[in-house]
Amino acid sequence: MSTTPQSTATDFKLEAYVRYLAARGLAKLSVDTYLSQLQDYLVTRTREGTTDEETMNTWLAAAACTSTRRVRSVALRHYYDMLHMDIVVPSVRGGYSKPTFPPESETVSVLEAALKTAVTKGTAPLLAYYLMADCGLRVNEVVNIKPAHINTERRELTVHAGKGGKNRIVPMSTRLLNAYRERVPDIEPGQCLTGFNNRHSITSVLRRACLRTHQPIVSPHQLRHYFASQLLDNGVDIITIGTMLGHSNITTTQHYLHRTSSHLHLAYNNTFA
């Protein structure tokens, strides 16, 4: 198939866009997300034959939700900044999701039991669960963890190029280490540790397990909050928790640490009673 000068120029811009985002320190997952949105935008602009401003407005409005419109807006701002073009990209505000709270301990225990009895993918669902509940990994990080990132002697794993492009080391629990050793013989060369290729498959497995056991739906992000709350309840300081979560700002970590009224009264009584 022959290439046209226009398609060649587009490919060149996309390659330059990837380099531009990487130079700004964006993580690979963020780069891939913005690149995907930009490709869709450029295809839409070519198909419609409209100006940048006209395409931009209709393309942003066509997004399924506010969060997608926000991602599209940021992707376009990066694109036109790279080209040094004086085009104003509308900012997308509002529509943020409600605060995420960790699931109850009973719900988590039932979920773990359900994943242990799951017949699909062997130990893979349970391993993915432990990576989130015991290590606080983001679901996209779980997808990218490979056996080479595991150090069984030191009982730790390395998260490579997490959000913000930073690596971090997280200790491994005994149950995670055991699940890893059971899973290793089933892993194909070059395959990710859990065998899940995308975040949606992990979310789906958790959802099905919750529905089977008639428990509230638990999301991957809630398990990350559960991890942070368990550390806090056991006396781990907020700086250490933020480090293990991969946060660069303590303010972000504070959003993960939820205190109920009973927790507050218990802390007060232990101090002043």
Residues carrying an active site annotation: 138, 163, 221, 224, 247, 256
Number of H helices, E strands in the chain: 13, 3
Judge contact between 206 and 133, C-beta under 8 A: no
- What CA–CA distance (Å, rounded) separates 31 from 25? 10
Q: What are phi and psi of 76, to 5 degrees?
A: -70, -35
Q: What angle do CA 272, 240, 216 make, to 5 degrees?
A: 80
Output the six-digit token pair for 209: 């397990």
168: β partners: 159
CA separation for the pair 60, 72 (Å, rounded): 7
Quickly tell me which residue has 């990576």 as its tokens: 131
Nearest to 129 by CA among 147, 111, 146, 117: 111
Q: Are 45 and 83 in contact (CB under 8 A)?
A: no
| 227 vs 234: CA distance, rounded Å | 11
Question: How many CB atoms sit inside 10 A of residue 36's CB?
Answer: 12
